[in-house]
Structure 1
Amino acid sequence: MKDVKFAITDIETTGNGIKGNRITEICVIVVQDGKVIDEYSSLVNPSQSIPLYIESLTGINDEMVLNAPQFSEIADEVERITKDCVFVAHNVNFDYNIVRAEFASIGRDFKRKRLCTVRLTKKLIPGLFSYSLGNICTSINIPHMDRHRAKGDCDATVTLFQRCLSLDPEFEVISQLLNQKTAASYLPPNFKSSDFEKLPKATGVYFFKDKDGIPIYIGKAKNIKSRIKSHFQERSNRKYKMMQETYSIDYELTGNELLALLRESELILKFFPKYNKAQKKVSRPYTLTSYHNQKGIEQFALHKNKIAPVSWMKFYTREEAIKFMEFLCEKFELCPKYCGLQAGVKYCDHYKITTCSGVCKNEISLEEYNNRVEKAVDFISAYDESCLLLEKGRTNKEKSFIYLNKGKFAGYGFISDAEDFNQPEDFRNFLNPSKTSSYADRIVSRYLNTEKNLSRIPLNTEEKELAENEAWFG
């Protein structure tokens, strides 16, 4: 390893994370066998205005870079001095990705092995209060002149790297960091790789937390470990900023995606994490209503923006509504014309439904048809009944339940796979109460309208047989 060259690099930029960020100054110092063997530094014209807050931080302004070379003019020199080197920086992913983006902007590729002095220092000098460059230099007495300028920060990083070399003479730690094949090379600088390895490959909700343990992002995943790794590998400005503030990741297993969706929605509304996009207001749903038309036929209709005196059911997409109404027509031999599926026709002529009982052609009496509609309404009413939805648990020996109170999400729980509720009310002994929301309503509605293999326990005082509903409820 003594023959390996390390290109210690520092850049100053126009700000704004990673995407759209341009270099205003760069410094590269090459170290081999602990000694400096080459050096290059230059101001860079970013071809855009430097924000005032960046000017205040670095002292670099538009006038200073006006006659400086653009990156395309120094790319050959940066390519040369870093060739056959390990790219080293303090929080290396930031500097490396911006340098790589500058090369990409001129149609050139840039790939180097990389090493982060934040991670290296945490391994070799554990227990420091902070691992920012300034605080490390203060803690271990490294001179740090001209802070927030590329040459000053790069000189300090070189001294820090040389100190690390003296603590790792056999290159054991450096070799370990260079040869990582897992997501550890993408980990946030404040997050431990050992903590990542402990994450489960299971369904649930996960929390990115800041240094005070406050959730800054909440998500759900079928495979928590895989999903979190994908966060680490994203290159958006927003994700980069979030990674810089992440100190720990927690999780909650749910065993199934339905409960994960409901818990994610509930927890976002509870904590309002800063990096979750604000939950947009759910669009007004399609409402299924019914009325007696001029012929005396009980007719179904779908409305999106109208307030109706009778409301049987809600759908959050037109596709869900149409699919359910087609099912209802076939199950109870209703007429598509009087179920909101066809308009402007004398007799129904639906491309899919051939089970119409003939009310549109006066082939059955109004009383008989309306009786069919009444049975359909009874079937629909089951959606608003209190019930338990049984789903997979967190292990093979467990199952979960989602409690719907009059059709609204009201809680969840877990029980042994071998256990059954002798009395429907027994579930309350295992219940974790939850608050519902318009998002939870939509999640439950979509699940009920699309899932054909429901395992459902009614909780009404007068239990109804579900045999007649098997075609839809499973």
Structure 2
Amino acid sequence: MKDVKFAITDIETTGSGIKENKITEICIMVVQNGEVIDEYSSLVNPSQSIPLYIESLTGINDEMVGNAPQFYEIAEDVDKITKDCVFVAHNVNFDYNIIRSEFSSIGKEFKRKRLCTVRLTKKLIPGLFSYSLGNICTSINIPHPDRHRAGGDCEATVTLFQRCLSLDPEYEEITKLLNQRTAASYLPPNFKRSDFEKLPTSTGVYFFKDKDGIPLYIGKAKNIKNRIKSHFQERTNRKYKLMQATYSIDYELTGNELLALLRESELILKYYPKFNKAQKKPGRPYTLTSYHNQKGIEQFVLHKNRIAPVSWMKFYTRDEAIKFMEFLCEEFELCPKYCGLQSGVKYCDHYKITSCSGACRNEIDTEEYNDRVAKAIDYIGQFDDSCLLVEKGRTSKEKSFIYLNRGRYAGYGFIDHSYEFKHSEEFRNFLIPQKNSSYADRIVSRYLNTKKELVKIPLNGSETPAENDTEKLFEKAFYL
């Protein structure tokens, strides 16, 4: 291991991301057995303007790189000096991925083993206030005179690496870091591998947090650990910045995707995390209404813009609305023409529904047809009832419930299988009240309209057959 060559690398760029970020300066120093044996450095013409804030930081401007070689002209030199070396840098994924991107842009592959001096220093010199290169150098007295230039930062990183070698003479920690085969090799520089290993593989919401514990990003996942791993492996400017700012990851188990979606929406609205793209305001919903046409037939209509005296239901996508109306047609033997599924036709000729009631051909009495519509409206009415939607819990010994108050999301809770209900209102002992929102409306609406098998418990006087009173429904939902 002691004969391994390490290519200590530092670059300056046009920005602080990954994509569309171009190199303006590069320095590589090859270390073997603790000594520098080779060195390469060059300014690089990025073929684009250098932003003013970058010029202020690095001192590199457009004039300085005007006659410098472009990356394709130095690619062979970079490839040659780093060949058969371990690629080393402070926050290695940044430098490595930028260089890889530059090689990719000229149709070449760049692949090296990587070692991060941030992670190595945390292992060998724990307890420092900060692990940025400048702060480490200040803390342990490493000269760093030419900051934010590739040569100065590279020299400081070499000295830091040599200091680490003196603390790890048998290369034990270096070997461990090089032999990582999990997502840990992609971990944010300030995030502990042990914390990653503790993440659950269950359904819930997760929080990327900064050093003060403030949420930077909130998401939901069926498998929290796998989803977070995929974040680590994404290579975008936004994701890179998120990883650099992340110090810890927290999570909240929900047991099922419906509650995970609702909690994600609630928490984003509560914290407005910096790296969450603002939740798009749901578009104006499709409203299902009805009116009596000239024949006296009660006709359903789907619309987005009209103000109607009655509103039976709302849908947030046209596809959901159409599927639901197709179901009503078939379930209650209605006419597609009078359900908003066909227009501009004299008689029904629906591609899917072939069992038209005959209302469009005057083959059924208007009163009889309207009775069918009334039954369909009664069916729709159940979506506005107060109820509990019962779903999987966080463990096999509990169930979760989502409380809908008159069809609107009002909270959630978890109930252990061992609890015995004496009255339906006892669910309130476990209820965690929540505020409704247009996002929650959309989530619940989609769930109700698309979920094939619902476990639903009516509340507040909703009529149920005598043999299936509410308490028995609770027993069936929570204990079977």
Superposition TM-score, scaled by structure 2 size: 0.95
CA distance in 1, matches of 2:4, 2:462: 79
Distance in 2 separating the partners of 1:5 and 1:184: 23
Counterpart in 1 of 2:55? 55
Sequence identity of aligned pairs in percent? 82
1:340 corresponds to which letter in structure 2? G
Instruction: Report if aligned partners of 2:385, 2:462 keep a CA contact under 8 Å in 1.
Output: no
Displacement of 1:403 in angstroms is 0.5
Aligned-partner Cα distance in 2 for 1:214–1:365: 65
CA offset digits 1:375-415 (Å, max 9, x no partner):
11111100000100000111111111011111111111111
Which amino acid in the other structure matches residue 220 of structure 1?
A: K
187-196 vs 7-16, which moves further: 7-16
Distance (Å, rounded) in 2 between the aligned partners of 1:401 and 1:155: 59
Per-residue CA shift, 1:425-455, capped at 9, x if unaligned? 1110001111111111111111101111000
CA RMSD after TM alignment: 1.6
Amino acid corresponding to residue 350 of structure 1 in structure 2: H
Q: Kindly provide the amino acid, as one letter, of the partner of residue 302 in structure 1.
A: L
5 Å-filtered alignment, 1:185-196, equals 185-196=185-196
Match of 2:218 in 1: 218
Give the corresponding residue for 1:319: 319
Amino acid at match of 2:64: M
Q: Which consecutive unaligned segments of at least 5 residues does structure 1 have?
A: 469-473
Name the CA shift for 1:258/1:462 in 2 (closer, same or farther; >3 Å). Answer: closer
Match of 2:167 in 1: 167
User: 1:418 Cα deviation (Å)?
Assistant: 4.5
- Structure 1 distance, partners of 2:77, 2:325, is 68
State the AA in 1 paired with 2:191.
F
Separation in 2 of the partners of 1:4 and 1:409?
A: 61
| Corresponding residue for residue 290 of structure 2 | 290
Counterpart Cα distance in 1 of 2:376 and 2:420: 31
The residue matched to 1:341 in structure 2 has which SS?
coil
1:407 equivalent in alignment to 2:407: yes
2:204 aligned residue: 204
Cα deviation digits, residues 3-47 of structure 1 (max 9, x gap): 001111111111141111111111111111111111111111111
> What is the deviation of 1:467?
11
Give 3-state SS (helix, strand or coil) of 1:47's partner: coil
Letter of the 1:296 partner, please give it: G
1:330 is aligned to 2:330: yes
Matched with 1:272 is 272
SS of the residue corresponding to residue 45 of structure 1 reads coil
Q: Which residue in 1 is equivalent to 2:144?
A: 144
Q: How does 1:414-433 map to 2 (within 5 A)?
A: 414-419=414-419, 421-433=421-433
Which SS does the other structure have where 2:428 is aligned?
helix
**How far apart are the structure 2 equivalents of 1:262 and 1:171?**
48
Aligned residue identity for 1:111: K
Question: Which residue matches 1:97?
Answer: 97
Letter of the structure 1 residue corresponding to residue 142 of structure 2 = I
Cα distance in 1 for partners of 2:336, 2:396 equals 44
Cα gap change, 1:333 to 1:107, in 2 (>3 Å)? same
1:347-358 mapped onto 2 (5 Å cutoff): 347-358=347-358
Corresponding residue for residue 132 of structure 1: 132
| Structure 1 residues 41 and 154, CA gap change in structure 2 (3 angstroms) | same
Aligned-pair CA distance for 1:81: 1.1
- What SS does the aligned partner of 2:341 have? coil
- Once the two structures are TM-superposed, the CA of residue 328 in structure 1 deviates from its matched residue by 1.0
Would the aligned equivalents of 2:287 and 2:312 in 1 still touch at CA under 8 Å? yes
Letter in 2 for 1:75: A
1:202-226 superposed Cα distances (whole Å, 9 cap, x missing partner): 1100000001100010000000000
The separation in 2 between residues aligned to 1:180 and 1:108, in whole angstroms, is: 26
SS across alignment from 2:440: helix
Q: What are the residue-to-residue correspondences of 1:439-454 with 2, within 5 Å?
A: 439-454=439-454
For 2:360 and 2:94, the matched residues in 1 are separated by 69
The change in CA–CA distance for 1:127 and 1:69 in structure 2 (over 3 A counts) is same
Task: Provide the C-alpha distance between the structure 1 equivalents of 2:381 and 2:465, rounded to a whole number of angstroms.
Answer: 13
> Equivalent residue of 1:357, what SS?
coil
Equivalent-residue separation in structure 1 for 2:73 and 2:467 (angstroms): 77
In the TM superposition, what is the alpha-carbon distance from 1:323 to its structure 2 partner? 1.2
Q: 2:127 is paired with a residue of what secondary structure?
A: coil
* Contact in 1 for aligned 2:389/2:454 (Cα 8 Å): yes
Tell me the matched-pair count: 469
Change (3 A) 1:265 1:339: same
The Cα of 1:366 is off from its aligned counterpart by 2.0
Q: Please list the CA deviations of residues 332-363 of structure 1 after superposition, one character each: whole Å capped at 9, or x if unmatched.
A: 12222211122233332333324433333333
Indicate yes or no: 2:251 matched with 1:256: no
Distance across 1 between alignment mates of 2:359 and 2:45: 78
Deviation at 1:67, TM superposition (A): 1.0
Which 5+ residue runs of structure 2 have no aligned equivalent?
Answer: 469-476
